[in-house]
Copies of this chain bind each other. A is one copy, B any other.
C-alpha cells in the first residue's frame, strides 16, 4: 500500500520503519527539510517532502505530528487527498480530535499507539517500538466500515494488542493511567527541587536512585506532550487529578494522625491492585 506519514519523529519514524519492512511504500512529510533528508538517507521512508501535496497519491495517511497540529494539518491535507484515502492519527487524546477530523474527512479514524515517549525525534525511531504494545482505534458512528477494516488490518500487522473504544471512553481511561501520572510525576520533581536547605538539596541529588528515577520519568519527559494532554483532555484530567488529590490527602492525614492501620491497609491494597493494571 502507498502510506503517507506526517511527522517523522519517534512515533512516525518507527511506524515508517515497520511498514517499510512489510513491503509498503512510504511517503514522509516533515516541516523540517533536514528531517526529510535524514529520513530518506536512513531508509526510513522512500520519499519525503515538507509539502502535504506530495501525499496526493497515497491510499493511507498516519498523522504523527504533535496533538495541536493534527486538525490544522488534516484541514490542509484534505485538498490533496484522493477521496478514498483513509486517514488516521497517533495522538494521545481522541475526543478533541475524532469528531472534528471525521467532519473534515469522512474516511478518518482516530488511533493511539500506546508506546514509549521518553525520547523524541527521528533519531529515536526504531523497529520494535510497538511490539506487544496496545494500539487503540476510536471509530465513531459515522466511520465507514471499510475505513475501520483497512486500518484494523494494517495496524494488526504490527503485532500490537488492538483495542477499539469510543473517543470519550479512551480519553476518560487515559486521563487516569497516562495523563494524570504526568502531573503527579512532574510535581514530585518540583517538590524535590523546592528543598530550601542547599546541603539537603545537594544530598538529595546525590542519593536519588531507582525509586526517584521511575516516579519522575513521565513528569520529566516531553513538556509539549504534557501540556497538550491537559489542554486537549482538560475535563477528564481535572477529574482524575481531583480523585488523586483525595487519595494523597488521605495518606497525609493518616501519617499526620499516626493512623498506621489505615496507612498499612492502603499500601497493601495498592500492592494488590497494581497487577490489575500492569504486569
Contacts and interface: CB of A to CB of B under 8 A. Distances in A.
**Copy number of this protein in the oligomer?**
2
- Overall SS of chain A's interface: helix
A215 interface: yes
Interface in A182-197: 182-195, 197
A114 B203 CA distance: 13
B218 A214 contact: yes
Contacts of A222: 271
B241 A177 contact: no
Contact of A215 (B207, B218, B241): B218
A7 to B, nearest CB: 20
A250 B241 CA distance: 12
A246 B188 CA distance: 11
B247 A251 contact: no
Contact of A264 (B192, B223, B243): B223
A237 interface: yes
A252 B241 contact: yes
A173 B204 contact: yes
A49 to B, nearest CB: 30
Interface in A140-159: none
A211 B176 contact: no
A169 interface: yes
Interface string A80-121: 000000000000000000000000000000000011110000
A223 B271 contact: yes
A169 B200 contact: yes
Given A177-B207, A190-B269, A270-B190, A200 B172 contact: yes
| Size bracket of the A interface | 35 or more
A180 B176 contact: no
B248 A209 contact: no
Interface stretch (A19-27, A38-46, A224-232): A224-232
Interface stretch (A9-17, A28-36, A54-62, A254-262): A254-262
Contact of A274 (B163, B216, B245, B270): B216
A50 interface: no
Which of A189, A213, A243 has the most chain B CB atoms inside 10 A of its CB? A189
Sorted nearest first, the 4 A-B pairs with minimum C-beta distance are: A220-B274, A223-B267, A208-B277, A187-B247
Given A134-B207, A176-B204, 6 more contacts: A186-B266, A193-B269, A220-B270, A222-B271, A230-B254, A244-B248
15 contacts: A178-B208, A178-B211, A180-B191, A181-B215, A183-B255, A187-B250, A191-B247, A192-B277, A205-B277, A220-B273, A226-B263, A230-B263, A237-B255, A241-B252, A245-B248
